[in-house]
């Protein structure tokens, strides 16, 4: 019998490298550009929140534009983890449940924050109370869903 060299599964390597690229960009966007991580102090008053939006105006717009473009990369990491879970000795229902739950959590967790804070940054002349509401709503959705502290 002739031994045939097996090719590594290219789709798994693509998913793995997509995961690496996404989380490197995620760190760059959330920690460096937008300065939303670690989360700012929730006890800030309205003038401080408005100043935060002014100080991070271009970082928020550029950073979250990057997130809008690369957000689909999260599906690759979810699929990679679900694929690995299906290979475990537990029921495949765990893998499918994970895939559904984490795919849905990206919408209220990451994307809603991006949309809300972008809306606050795009119109800096809004009522300061509305800017404060957008700030609270954006961080509440992100921290509440993703469990960041």
pLDDT tens-digit profile of 11-63?
888 888 998 999 999 999 999 999 998 888 889 999 999 999 999 999 999 99
Is residue 2 in a domain?
no
> Residue 27 domain-assigned?
yes
Q: Is residue 90 part of a domain?
A: yes
* 1 assigned to some structural domain: no
Q: What is the pLDDT of residues 68-96, one digit of tens each?
A: 999 988 888 888 888 888 888 888 888 88
* Segments forming the whole domain that contains residue 51: 10-37+45-146
> Does any domain span residue 110?
yes
Number of compact structural domains in the chain? 1
- pLDDT (0 to 100) of residue 149: 45
Q: Is residue 98 part of a domain?
A: yes
Question: What is residue 14's predicted lDDT score, i.e. its pLDDT?
Answer: 86
* Exposure string for 112-149, b = 16+ CB within 10 A, e = fewer: bbbbbbbebbeeeeeeeeebbbbbebbbebbbebeeee
The region that residue 5 occupies, defined by phi over 0 for left and psi between -120 and 50 for alpha, beta otherwise, is beta
Is 3 contained in some domain?
A: no
């Amino acid at each position: 019998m002739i031994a045939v060299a097996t090719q590594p599964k290219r789709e798994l390597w693509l998913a793995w490298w997509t995961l690496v690229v996404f989380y490197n960009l995620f760190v760059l966007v959330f920690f460096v550009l937008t300065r939303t991580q670690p989360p700012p102090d929730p006890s800030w008053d309205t003038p401080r929140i408005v100043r935060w939006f002014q100080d991070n105006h271009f970082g928020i717009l550029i950073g979250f534009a990057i997130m809008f473009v690369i957000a689909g990369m999260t599906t690759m990491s979810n699929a990679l983890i679900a694929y690995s879970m299906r290979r475990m000795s537990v029921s495949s229902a765990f893998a499918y449940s994970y895939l559904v739950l984490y795919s849905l959590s990206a919408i209220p967790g990451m994307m809603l924050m991006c949309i809300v804070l972008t809306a606050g940054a795009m119109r800096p002349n809004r009522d300061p109370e509305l800017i404060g509401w957008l700030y609270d709503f954006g961080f509440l959705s992100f921290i509440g869903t993703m469990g960041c502290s």
